[in-house]
């Protein structure tokens, strides 16, 4: 297959997959491993699919250095489903959970959790979301069931870097949907780490949940079986039919990451890509404006306005039109915040990022000249 005609896809998710993965999928679509059927036609109870499933789990454990006292689950419902599954599974005898709200997704998580547990926010969130307040001012409770945070806010471009928040002696719960395997991850103090696969690890439909073993078995009685960590572990993620095609896609992406040198190599490339775009923003004399505190700028989702802090709709529309003419798509910011958003997930190459950088420089030069 020729790759001619493919766009440079800066979508926030579902997002670009590596071309090598897509070509492998095409090659095996009609006949996986000589079995005469596609993976998406195979029984999830078959021996062959079991091998694929266990290999995928092993690859995650290897690439992320997941400690032995954690289970790796394949679930459905997306990250949003985990907004409910987490309090349903972790409440135990606790009355409340602590939440760190730094953007749209952690806000939605806290709102959903309130249906199943009392939610306390460790600080009062303030809009617009542009930073993470100093941890010294947070109000923690060591009786909380857990402390929840979103490692990377896709909408606002805010990322916890370089480390996770302090746990204050309760399990940390991390939503890593949009920076899953974008950098090495430290499991210290974490109870649950979860994310949808559709940004960095594959196709929409698969949710990966990594759970510390001592937290399993505390689910509320009303917990649906498909959201029960205990039930899913007992059945090796096969309680019901899993997203077989999604697991297969993630398996190929994980092999691609490994072939690229693993997470440290991926991280170094992601720093290069994001640094290239942020550098243009910072050197533009305000023509491009990123409101996010530099300490917490996301290396995955670079959000900015054109023409000043509040943006200029006409300039942004012109920029997006020119981007499409140059083969780039999905650069429009989230509908709730506007502006421009360049999602530089693992599959986006440095060369593709350079195409965006070249257009940004060209566009700024045109308008600064005028």
Catalytic residue ranges: 105, 175, 199
CA dihedral sign, ordered 192, 195, 201, 207? positive
Burial of 315 (0-12, 13-18, 19+ CB in 10 A): middle
Per DSSP, 165 falls in state P
Say if CB 85 and CB 148 are below 8 A apart: no
Separation of alpha carbons 359 and 265, rounded Å: 27
Lookup result for tokens 């990250």: 79
CB atoms within 10 A of CB 342: 25
Say if CB 142 and CB 118 are below 8 A apart: no
Separation of alpha carbons 42 and 25, rounded Å: 15
Per DSSP, 286 falls in state T
Return the SS3 of 150. strand
Lookup result for tokens 């550098």: 279
Separation of alpha carbons 265 and 257, rounded Å: 9
* CB < 8 Å & 24+ apart, contacts of 256-265: 256/18, 256/20, 256/21, 257/63, 257/181, 257/346, 258/59, 258/62, 258/63, 262/63, 263/63, 263/64, 263/181, 263/183, 263/184, 263/185, 264/184
CA dihedral sign, ordered 88, 92, 96, 97? negative
The pair of structure tokens assigned to 13 is 């998710």
Per DSSP, 313 falls in state H
Q: Which of 128, 168, 175, 173 has the alpha carbon at shortest distance from 150?
A: 175
């Amino acid at each position: 297959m020729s790759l001619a005609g493919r766009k440079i896809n800066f979508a926030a998710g579902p997002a670009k997959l590596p071309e090598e993965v897509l070509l492998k999928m095409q090659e095996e679509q009609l006949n996986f491993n000589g079995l005469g059927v596609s993976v998406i036609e195979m029984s999830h109870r078959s021996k062959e699919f079991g091998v694929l499933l266990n290999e995928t789990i092993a690859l995650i454990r290897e690439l992320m250095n997941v400690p032995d006292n954690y289970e790796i689950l394949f679930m459905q419902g997306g990250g949003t489903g985990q907004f409910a599954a987490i309090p349903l599974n972790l409440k135990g005898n606790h009355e409340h959970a602590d939440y760190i709200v730094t953007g749209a997704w952690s806000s939605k998580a806290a709102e959903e959790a309130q249906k199943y547990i009392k939610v306390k926010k460790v600080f009062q969130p303030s809009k617009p979301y542009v930073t993470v307040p100093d941890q010294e001012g947070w109000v923690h409770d060591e009786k909380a069931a857990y402390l929840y945070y979103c490692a990377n806010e896709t909408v606002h471009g805010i990322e916890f870097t370089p480390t996770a928040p302090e746990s204050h002696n309760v399990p940390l719960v991390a939503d890593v949907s949009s920076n899953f395997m974008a950098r090495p991850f430290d499991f210290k103090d974490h109870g649950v780490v979860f994310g949808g696969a559709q940004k960095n690890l594959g196709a929409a439909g698969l949710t990966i949940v990594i759970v510390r073993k001592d937290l399993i078995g505390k689910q509320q009685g009303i917990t649906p079986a498909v959201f029960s960590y205990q039930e899913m572990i007992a059945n090796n993620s096969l309680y019901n039919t899993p997203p077989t095609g999604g697991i297969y896609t993630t398996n190929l992406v994980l092999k691609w990451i490994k072939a690229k040198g693993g997470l440290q190599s991926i991280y170094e490339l992601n720093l290069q890509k994001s640094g290239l775009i942020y550098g243009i923003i910072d050197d533009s004399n305000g023509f491009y404006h990123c409101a996010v505190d530099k300490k917490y700028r996301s290396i995955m989702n670079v959000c900015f306005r054109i023409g000043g802090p509040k943006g200029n709709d006409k300039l942004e529309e012109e920029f997006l039109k020119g981007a499409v003419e140059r083969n780039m798509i999905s650069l429009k910011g989230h509908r709730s915040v506007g502006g421009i958003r360049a999602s530089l997930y693992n599959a986006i190459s440095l060369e593709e990022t350079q195409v965006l950088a070249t257009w940004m420089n060209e566009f700024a030069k045109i308008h600064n000249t005028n």
